[in-house]
Amino acid sequence: MVQYMALDRTFSALSDSTRRAILDRLGRGPASISELAAPFGMSLTGLKKHVQILEAARLVTTEKVGRTRRCRLGPDHMEDAVRWIELHRRRWTRRLDELAAYVEQAREGPA
Amino acid sequence: MVQYMALDRTFSALSDSTRRAILDRLGRGPASISELAAPFGMSLTGLKKHVQILEAARLVTTEKVGRTRRCRLGPDHMEDAVRWIELHRRRWTRRLDELAAYVEQAREGPA
């Protein structure tokens, strides 16, 4: 159940294009809130809210350094989301393979 | 921009554990709304709402067959979400590789 709620938060955090762009930016290295805000022409308050959502989903970690807040990608960065998608795709692909095998068999069957 | 909005819908649709469970179930084959509702002990109306969200995100397609509505996984099933995550992970891994190379170099450097 805890795992389910964590996944809810991860996918929900990824469902906003600004937040995905923040993750892209942090993939190139850590940045302060104001460095993150600049390319979006967004207020610091607005950007902070997005960062908080990413932080709650453990996609980002932040650390106070002097008067600024450094943001970087979190340690468990998207692993649970990737695991869910991969597991789901594996099951689904197996199902498609079974279907293809069945069609093949049916075609060869009563020639 | 259209691509961005589609991704918003995909990740948002995946951010609910009931909807992920519906996708898991449909990964094992098509099902009617009432077949989908049974294991959740959910009303048909409640389940229909989840299916509509999955349909808007193109994760599921539905078709009226007689008096029931058959649901199955959509054709572009999660491809855009997977593509975004994979691109992001590839960039991020490259960044980690560059960092590792830099640390290695720095360590070997001024022996």
Whether ipTM > 0.90 holds is no
**Tokens 């397609």 found at:** B61
Q: Which two tokens stand for residue A16?
A: 């906003």
Rounded distance between C-alpha atoms, residue A18 and residue A51, angstroms: 10
- Whether chain A has a CB inside 8 Å of the CB on B21: the answer is no
pLDDT at B13: 94
User: A92, A95, A96, A97: best mutation site toward chain B, by most B Cβ within 10 Å?
Assistant: A92
What tens digit of pLDDT does each residue of B44-97 get? Answer: 999 999 999 999 998 999 999 998 999 998 876 677 788 888 888 777 777 667
CA atoms within 13 A on the CB side of B7: 19
List chain B residues with CB under 8 Å of A9. Answer: 15
Q: Which two tokens mark B48?
A: 């229909």
Continuous H helices in chain A: 2-14, 17-26, 33-37, 44-56, 79-108
The string of pLDDT tens digits covering residues B17-46 is 999 999 989 988 899 999 999 988 889 999
pLDDT of residue A4: 63
Buried residues in B62-74 as b, exposed as e (16+ CB within 10 A)? beeeeeebebebb
Count of Cβ atoms closer than 10 Å to residue B60 Cβ: 24
Alpha carbon distance B12, B7 (integer Å): 8
Token pair of A102 as six digits: 């069945």
- Could you give the percent of chain A with pLDDT greater than 90? 49
Strand order in the sheet with B68-73: B31-32, B68-73, B60-65
pTM as predicted? 0.80
Q: Say whether A17 and B28 touch across the interface (CB within 8 A).
A: no
Token pair for B110: 């001024």
A19 in contact with chain B, both atoms CB, cutoff 8 A? no
Question: What is the rounded CA–CA span in Å between residue B38 and residue A62?
Answer: 43
